[in-house]
Structure 1
Amino acid sequence: MAKQPKLEHSELSGEYTEEDITVLVDIYRPAGTQNDWKLEVVTQNEDLFEWGEPFATDREAFDEFLATVARDGIRSFLEEDDVPTTH
């Protein structure tokens, strides 16, 4: 069994909530390195969205996440069936 590398998670990682929708923003790189940062978003239904290109800084990764939310909306991370409804 291959050993999983330890990861360093950015302080910018964490839950992000907008419009009553919460996602987990995970920004990470291999621990103890100066490698570029990877960005993933995980929904409440455990859908995973990964950016293909890494980022030079964790701030650039988080800014890309914020730009995506501003451009496409937080609901862009949800499947149609996952969108909460209000009654």
Structure 2
Amino acid sequence: MYDEKELITSPLQQHFRENGKTVEVCIYRLPDTGWTLEIVDEYNNSTVYDDEFASDEAALALFLAEVKAEGIEAFIGPVPGTLLH
């Protein structure tokens, strides 16, 4: 089992803003794994990609391509306390 101290974060992690909305782009890995991409919105909703990436650049490139294709709204979840139908 890994210790949290072993988590490697990418220097490409960032807050990304578009159309007045901001998400945090988290890119990280453990010592012997590929890179994980996680997007956290302003309401603390999280989208974690199932597949690992060979590089942190590849993870960021996928995120940017998806924002270009779908818009940042695709990564914004519900406001806490709202009911989904």
Q: Deviations over 1:11-65 (max 9, x none)?
A: 11010111111100000001xx252100000000000001000000000000010
Distance 2:26 2:10 in 1: 8
Counterpart in the other structure of 2:53: 55
Counterpart in the other structure of 1:39: 37
Distance 1:10 1:49 in 2: 17
For normalisation by structure 1, the TM-score amounts to: 0.80
Counterpart in the other structure of 2:27: 27
Aligned CA distance change for structure 1 residues 73 and 4 (closer, same or farther; 3 Å) = same
Counterpart in the other structure of 2:7: 7
Structure 1: where are the runs of 5+ without partners? Answer: 83-87
Give, in angstroms, the shift of residue 81 of structure 1: 5.3
Q: Deviations over 1:66-87 (max 9, x none)?
A: 01101110011123659xxxxx
SS of 1:79 mapped into structure 2: coil
Distance 1:40 1:66 in 2: 13
Asked if structure 1 preserves the Cα contact closer than 8 Å seen for 2:41 and 2:77, the reply is no
- Structure 1 consecutive aligned stretches of length 4 or more whose deviation exceeds 4 Å: none
What percent identity do the matched residue pairs reach?
32
Structure 2: where are the runs of 5+ without partners? Answer: 81-85
For normalisation by structure 2, the TM-score amounts to: 0.82
Count how many residue pairs are aligned between Structure 1 and Structure 2.
79
